[in-house]
Amino acid sequence: MFSSPEQNIEKVHIDPGMKVADLGSGAGHYSIAAAKLVGPSGSVYAVDVQKDLLDKIKTDALQQGIANIELVWADLDEPMGTKLTDSLVDRVIIANVMFQVEDKDALIAEAKRILKPKGKLLFIDWSDSFGGLGPQPSDIIRPDVARTLFESEGFDFEKDIQVGEHHYGLIFKLS
């Protein structure tokens, strides 16, 4: 893995008791890392459209004794796709998924809808394709484009972060 979920989520300050949504959770690396940080008094919503990946998260979490991850099967291209309550979570993670989403505005609007006021969003994506991994070069979302997408939906840019080779990271917050 080019990037460490554990090190990356530390940069968005996830504390015990928080609620976190991992949108486009994939195999669950960020969901499991976040679940460890929020502890038993917190919760993580692992949201993905691929049921087999959600099953993998469940299996991996159980093997590690983690019981605070809720699996959410959802289409992130749909408005209100997560079906989560408004202003539910303290943090949102969107990692390595933007290039797969057709309606990027819908994904960002959903993240904003479920995030509490003053909540933060960790955005990580590919800066390039490497050795056949990652998106096609034409599908890469450049950092300046990502920043414009989030700011146009009402997010405030907080900072750039280093997240590993072939990736970049941005942290946004809601006012």
- Confidence (pLDDT) at 107: 96
**Cβ distance 90 to 19 under 8 Å?**
yes
Q: Which residue has the tokens 């093997």?
A: 63
- Give every residue of the chain whose pLDDT is below 70, as ranges: 1-2
- Confidence (pLDDT) at 83: 94
- Confidence (pLDDT) at 2: 64
- Confidence (pLDDT) at 16: 98
For the chain, the distance separating the N- and C-terminal CA atoms, rounded to the nearest angstrom, is 34
Fold (CATH) for 5-173: Rossmann fold (3.40.50)
CA 44 – CA 42 distance, rounded (Å): 7
Strands 19-23 and 43-48: parallel
pTM of the predicted structure, to 2 decimals: 0.95
